[in-house]
Chain A
């Protein structure tokens, strides 16, 4: 029993660590390829005369697109595993196929979007197009590889009590949608609020009149997505990873603790629910204190 518990704890920590990497790279991929909500400003920029060298890749919202990549990767890996291939080969091959799908969609999305802006005199810069595809593929590959490994652990490696009833492809879809929605909600704020409008006053919400007027010049030369991912890797990406890692860590931890405390299956589930509610209450208090800190530290709005 103790051996199984140690194994579950170790696997839960591995899953949390993989989630941290996946979350970080998912957000950085959306920065290096400009996807999701902040990309609305890249799209708008050309329309108001701000010709730019940003990569304009709005395949779809991040959750559906990552749902597709992770389901494709987990599906291919599952197929290869069932045909006797070792996990160490099957999972990277699955993630590799997903990267091909990803780059194909990125190419068509960028070329389609920018060519549609011809009337606004936004050119398709071929060097921007070609140079960005590899960083998009590699960042996406790491994120999808981590998610596929999480799915493999949850579907096949975890001991019986903690093993998921869902097969790998469905887990890929579930965690793909989840990580997409987290990356879109957390890390994109750093790209959209801060990096896209860096020549505007710091410490205020970006006014409607600023919309589309993005910062087009970098610390040196003209800004492109590589300048953005370098900046967002300092805050946006790691916080996204921390959030996704924490979700999986505490989700597994509360279940494990409940299973250890309770005597009957009903009591075990009851305990895990109670512990989960306790964690949420603590988070509400932390958020209250954080907002209070911001109000005290920054004070009232003093601009015009």
Chain B
């Protein structure tokens, strides 16, 4: 039974990670020059940074309660806080230091707040800053990614007899496996769930399902051999 739950935790965590990574508004290197919408770093890097903040909280909560939902939600909220502050900090620089209005390059009107983007967009750019829709998408992505990382950690500690530090490193490794697979699918930049690239998600989910399954097999082998 433990083995089945371990597999479910790792595979579900991997799938949640993949969906979360696809919802991150990431502009990569061009965003650092205000040439693309989103956060000015790689999607794997920002997702991992957010998930690690969540993992830190989830690991403390895991010692207090055995409730899987509370551990997963703690990780999710830690990640959301990290992403929300980071995106706000980025927008403060764009707006107050560079005088740039955050707009999307992929849609003409904000799908949530209905603010128009086109009149504010600089020509020859793919948008700039993190507009409302991308901000909300990023928070949702962090929620999913953080809960995924925490779920993997919970599974490894409780059903594979990993010690807390080794479970932390392993959870980071499994998270990165899924984040990198999803990053290949995105191909550098994505603005959030409203971006046309988000439709490529099913392809990444298949890859992440297989990747997580392989990770779960290794985790169960280590568990069978006596844990770490």
Which among B1-9, B10-18, B85-93, B215-223 touches the partner chain?
Answer: B85-93
A290 touches B88 (CB 8 A): yes
Highest count of chain B CB atoms <10 Å: which of A41, A162, A291 = A291
CB distance from B152 to the nearest CB of A (A): 15
**Residue among A164, A211, A283 making CB contact with B85, cutoff 8 Å:** A283
**Residue among B46, B62, B78, B119 making CB contact with A301, cutoff 8 Å:** B119
A188 touches B85 (CB 8 A): no
B89 touches A206 (CB 8 A): no
Q: Which of B87-128 contact A (CB under 8 A)?
A: 87-102, 113, 115, 119-125, 127-128
B125 touches A206 (CB 8 A): yes
Q: Is B207 close to A, CB under 8 A? A: no
Q: Is B33 close to A, CB under 8 A? A: yes
Q: How many A-B residue pairs have CB under 8 A?
A: 273
Which among A106-114, A116-124, A190-198 touches the partner chain?
Answer: A190-198
A189 touches B78 (CB 8 A): no
B168 touches A276 (CB 8 A): no
Q: Which residues from A are CB-within-8-Å of B50?
A: 181
Which among A3-11, A92-100, A128-136, A247-255 touches the partner chain?
Answer: A247-255
A239 touches B77 (CB 8 A): no
CB distance from B171 to the nearest CB of A (A): 11
A37 touches B87 (CB 8 A): no
**Given A239-B92, A301-B120, A166 contacting B59 (CB threshold 8 A):** yes
**Residue among A185, A205, A283 making CB contact with B122, cutoff 8 Å:** A205
B34 touches A193 (CB 8 A): yes
Q: Mark A229-240, 1 if CB is under 8 A from B, else 0.
A: 000000110011
Highest count of chain A CB atoms <10 Å: which of B46, B81, B169 = B81
Residue of B nearest to A208 (CB): B124
CB distance from A230 to the nearest CB of B (A): 15
**Given A181-B46, A193-B33, A269 contacting B65 (CB threshold 8 A):** yes
Q: Is A178 close to B, CB under 8 A? A: yes
Q: Is B64 close to A, CB under 8 A? A: yes
Residue of B nearest to A196 (CB): B33
Q: Which residues from A are CB-within-8-Å of B73?
A: 273
A205 touches B82 (CB 8 A): no
Residue of B nearest to A264 (CB): B65
Grouping DSSP codes into helix (H, G, I), strand (E, B) and loop, the A interface class, with mixed when no group exceeds half, is helix
**Residue among A171, A189, A269, A270 making CB contact with B32, cutoff 8 Å:** A189
Q: Is A75 close to B, CB under 8 A? A: no
Residue of A nearest to B130 (CB): A287
Q: Which of A242-273 contact B (CB under 8 A)?
A: 242-243, 246-247, 250-251, 254-255, 265-266, 268-270, 272-273
Bound Cα distance A205, B122 (Å): 6
**Given A174-B56, A268-B64, A304 contacting B49 (CB threshold 8 A):** no
CB distance from B141 to the nearest CB of A (A): 13
B49 touches A180 (CB 8 A): yes
Q: Which residues from B are CB-within-8-Å of A288?
A: 113, 132, 135
A242 touches B89 (CB 8 A): yes
B168 touches A166 (CB 8 A): yes
Grouping DSSP codes into helix (H, G, I), strand (E, B) and loop, the B interface class, with mixed when no group exceeds half, is helix
A269 touches B61 (CB 8 A): yes
B124 touches A207 (CB 8 A): yes
B165 touches A276 (CB 8 A): no
Q: Which of A134-166 contact B (CB under 8 A)?
A: 162-166
Q: Which residues from B are CB-within-8-Å of A291?
A: 91, 95, 101-102, 115, 129, 131-132
Q: Is B201 close to A, CB under 8 A? A: no
**Given A36-B32, A211-B35, A162 contacting B45 (CB threshold 8 A):** no
A177 touches B48 (CB 8 A): yes
A294 touches B102 (CB 8 A): yes
Q: Which residues from A are CB-within-8-Å of B53?
A: 174, 178, 247, 251
Q: Is B178 close to A, CB under 8 A? A: no
Q: Which residues from A are CB-within-8-Å of B168?
A: 166, 170, 174
Residue of A nearest to B112 (CB): A288
Nearest first, the 9 closest Cβ-Cβ pairs linking A and B are A181-B49, A192-B32, A203-B99, A276-B77, A205-B34, A205-B128, A37-B32, A243-B89, A207-B124
List residues of A whose CB falls within 8 A of some B CB.
36-38, 40-41, 61-64, 162-167, 170-171, 173-175, 177-178, 180-182, 184-194, 196-197, 202-211, 235-236, 239-240, 242-243, 246-247, 250-251, 254-255, 265-266, 268-270, 272-273, 276-277, 279-280, 283-284, 286-288, 290-291, 293-295, 298, 300-301, 303-304
Given known contacts A181-B49, A277-B80, what 5 new A-B pairs fall within 8 Å (CB)? A211-B35, A269-B67, A283-B84, A287-B84, A288-B113
